[in-house]
Amino acid sequence: MKHIDTNNGFLEFHLKEKVLKGIFELGFNTPSPVQRDSIPLILEGHDLIAQAQTGTGKTAAFSIPILNMLKNNSEIEALIITPTRELAIQISDEIFKLGKFLRTKTICVYGGQSIKRQIELLSKKPQVMVATPGRLLDHLRNNRIKKFNPKIVVLDESDEMLDMGFLDSIEEIFRFIPRDRQTLLFSATMPTPIKNLANKILNNPKSVKITTTNVTNTDIEQKYYIINESERDSAITRLIDAITPQKSIIFTRMKKEADKLSHFLASKGYKAVSLHGDMEQRERRVAIKAFKENKAEILVATDVASRGLDISDVSHVFNYHMPLNPESYVHRIGRTGRAGKKGVAITLVTPLEFRDLKRIKDQINTSLELFELPNNYNTDDFVSTILDYKISSDSLDLYPILSSKIDNAQLICKLLSYLYDSLSGISKNKIKELQDSLDEVVKPAQKPRRRAKRGWI
């Protein structure tokens, strides 16, 4: 077991020794902002609405105080509702690790697993239940859970449950849970339907809102490349060939695009799989597993499908398209540079999308560096192509005109630059112009920039 460090930031919560040991075993030294603010409020027994970006440690923010408050009276004391099976497994795994010294029993309830098996597990008297809405509701409607009276109920990733259409199920689930309880709602964003839900199920809640994001995480290098619309696919393969990333996620806007790009990459011999909301749960699990186990090196994903997923060793994130808003940009690039590792976030941007890039850069006050796409031709091939090229009659007409105005060496260099620019899609001048516009001062009418704070991981 790890040595208990007297400087560990978690000591301030005066947790039980066994809970602290679990935290130290996991190697957590400093509470993340959402943990720092939420843990004391939960321990005091308040209902809570906590809003913080993905990847900021919300799971431990509720799991730690829950474990500390368990009474071990052989009933389900805590219920955590989360949108997907992957998240349910991830959460119960984290609770298992944190609760190792308490010997906490956790049951994971999700669709797809046999009901008989789940009833068997229920009879083992777990204290914590982690569940997806559909299967939980099925158990409740069929009265399969005896004496269901959890004292703490968590709604995890609430905005995603809304996106996945679970709101009605959630409301129905709460009709089965006695009011004598502490309710905690966690979400990355707070759309109105979630606020309304909070009003219905929470009782005089406290609020925690963490606005700083892990964008300022200095472990993530943020690069962008200016390309033409027609170049997206080739830009991706040229970059992958040049960088040879260990493990990368490419984000697309649409499900169709994710499939198309992953097929394109697979056809070129890259180990790519896609992940999006139209896939069956089983297919999604297979894709995530392949990626986690390094059988696939590239995961082509949409935002929604990848929400909340915690894959620790992603070296590169690519934005195939500009994300639609700053939240999405922050979430996407936060898939890399996790747990103290270095990461690179690469954004492809066309001149048309450039305004979106500037808006995102200004709103999250981050630094983005322009890079040039690697060549898509080989110098030797290029030289032999030029040497073998037939001279056209048009060129014979133009040559005397140009050579009367300019020295021959200069003329050749100009022509080569022109050729190069047309091959690379976008001219250097255009790129320079766009780059300058990115650093232009923001107009006074816009809201003041937030000061960057250092990230916690």
Residues that bind Mg ion (CB under 5 A): 58, 308
State which of residues 163, 310, 353, 421 lies at the interface with ligand ADP (CB under 6 A): 310
Q: Which two tokens stand for residue 392?
A: 């056209």
Is 32 one of the binding residues for ligand ADP (CB under 6 A)? yes
Is 28 one of the binding residues for ligand ADP (CB under 6 A)? yes
Look up tokens 């500037």; give the residue: 358
CB of 34 to ligand ADP, least distance (A): 7
- Asked if residue 145 lies in contact with residue 124, where contact means CB atoms within 8 angstroms, the answer is no
* Site track for ligand ADP across 35-54, x = CB under 6 A: x----------------x-x
Is 57 one of the binding residues for ligand ADP (CB under 6 A)? yes
SS3 assignment for 235-302: HHHHHHHHHCCCCEEEEECCHHHHHHHHHHHHHCCCCEEEECCCCCHHHHHHHHHHHHCCCCCEEEEE
Contacts of 277 (CB under 8 A, 6+ apart): 255, 302, 304, 305
CB of 157 to Mg ion, least distance (A): 5
**Does residue 319 sit in helix, strand or coil?**
strand
- Asked if residue 76 lies in contact with residue 154, where contact means CB atoms within 8 angstroms, the answer is no
* Site track for ligand ADP across 267-306, x = CB under 6 A: ----------------------------------------
Is 58 one of the binding residues for ligand ADP (CB under 6 A)? yes
> Please, which residue, 48 or 431, has the CB nearer to ligand ADP?
48
CB of 63 to Mg ion, least distance (A): 10
Which partner in Mg ion, ligand ADP, none is near 32 (CB below 5 to 8 A by kind)? ligand ADP
Contacts of 300 (CB under 8 A, 6+ apart): 249, 250, 252, 258, 259, 261, 262, 265, 272, 273, 274, 275, 320
CB of 340 to ligand ADP, least distance (A): 8
* Site track for ligand ADP across 317-356, x = CB under 6 A: ----------------------x-----------------
> Please, which residue, 57 or 65, has the CB nearer to ligand ADP?
57
CB of 112 to ligand ADP, least distance (A): 22
State which of residues 38, 51, 56, 127 lies at the interface with ligand ADP (CB under 6 A): 56
Is 55 one of the binding residues for ligand ADP (CB under 6 A)? yes
Q: What backbone phi and psi angles, to 5 degrees, belong to 12?
A: -60, -20
Taking alpha carbons only, the member of 10, 87, 13 closest to residue 55 is 87
Which element (helix H / strand E) includes 97? helix 85-98
> Please, which residue, 24 or 186, has the CB nearer to Mg ion?
186
**Does residue 166 sit in helix, strand or coil?**
coil
User: What does each C-alpha distance from 429 to 34, 258, 259, 417 come to in angstroms?
Assistant: 45, 32, 35, 11
Contact footprint for ligand ADP (CB under 6 A): 28, 30-32, 35, 52, 54-60, 308, 310, 339, 457
